[in-house]
Amino acid sequence: MILSHDVSGTGPTLLLLHSSVCDRRMWDPQWQGLVDAGYRVVRCDFRGFGDTPLADGPYSDAQDVLALLDHLGIESAALIGSSHGGKIATDVAALRPAAVTALALLCPGASGRTPGPALRAFAAKERELLVDGDLAAAVELNVETWLGPEADDEARAHVRRMQRHAFEVQADARFGPSDDGADLGRITAPCLVVSGGHDVEDFRQIGAFLPTVIPNARHVELPWAGHFPGLERPEEAFVLLTGFLDEAAAPQPR
């Protein structure tokens, strides 16, 4: 199955990978700007999100992304990933290093991390609400947990729509994504890891940790941000991302 996706623009390819709270619509605030900046921009929905149906058997999000790149004839691309999408971006970059020219990770997840108290408490509360059938409360829990104080009403409504859709689609899910166990030390692309000062502590720790295992990576914490800086301050996130992409594409001194 090929993931549902959008493609627009001409120039170097830029692939956008969404959070597991959202779907490919989370990139709406940056989409046209990235196209206008001279990129061929691709965004996709993982299985069970947006327009991509649930899996009918075991699967890997990273392998799905690689299959999409092959389907579109893309030999190399820069990747921007948010949260779970950031984790998948690192897997893709580790599984096929030559295919990734730059890697920007916004509050990414990571494999093999033991959840801390805050994340465990969130997961337990979400599970309780879903078991009770209180979908609206589960959606609000996610909106309040993941969006920082800079998020306006429009951003909150946007996340609310995406998260509710994901809950509805995934109600009958029988399979979850497998972990490829990718070796992040194989990543060769320049990497920017962004964390948010108002994010759950687990993700702040991951932001600081990843540059210790990914070569040529650096970490920036945004003091104003929650988990979704691209939705909380869209223009500032756009400037940060395009600045990094320009820097990554510049010829390196010999």
228, 156 contact by CB (below 8 A): no
Provide the b/e sequence for 215-242 (b: ≥16 CB within 10 Å). Answer: eebebeebeebbbbbbbbbbeebbebbb
- Cα–Cα distance, 93 to 182 (Å, whole number): 9
List, as one string, the DSSP characters of 4-27.
Answer: PEEEE-SSSEEEEE--TTS-GGGG
Token pair in block for residue 189: 């692309």
Task: Output the CA–CA distances (angstroms, integers) from residue 125 to 92, 143, 248, in the order listed.
Answer: 31, 13, 41
Token pair in block for residue 87: 């984790």
The residue type at 175: F
Token pair in block for residue 33: 């700007």
Provide the pLDDT for residue 253. 57
Token pair in block for residue 138: 């589960």
Q: What is the mean pLDDT of the chain?
A: 96
- Looking at the whole model, is its pTM more than 0.85? yes
- Taking only the tens place, the pLDDT of each residue in 73-98 is 999 999 999 999 999 999 999 999 99
- Taking only the tens place, the pLDDT of each residue in 36-66 is 999 999 999 999 999 999 999 999 999 999 9
Within 10 angstroms of residue 96's Cβ, the number of other Cβ atoms is: 18
Task: Please check the confidence at residue 33 and state whether its pLDDT lies above 70.
Answer: yes
pLDDT band for position 210 (cuts 50, 70, 90): very high
CATH number of the 5-249 domain? 3.40.50.1820
pLDDT band for position 250 (cuts 50, 70, 90): confident
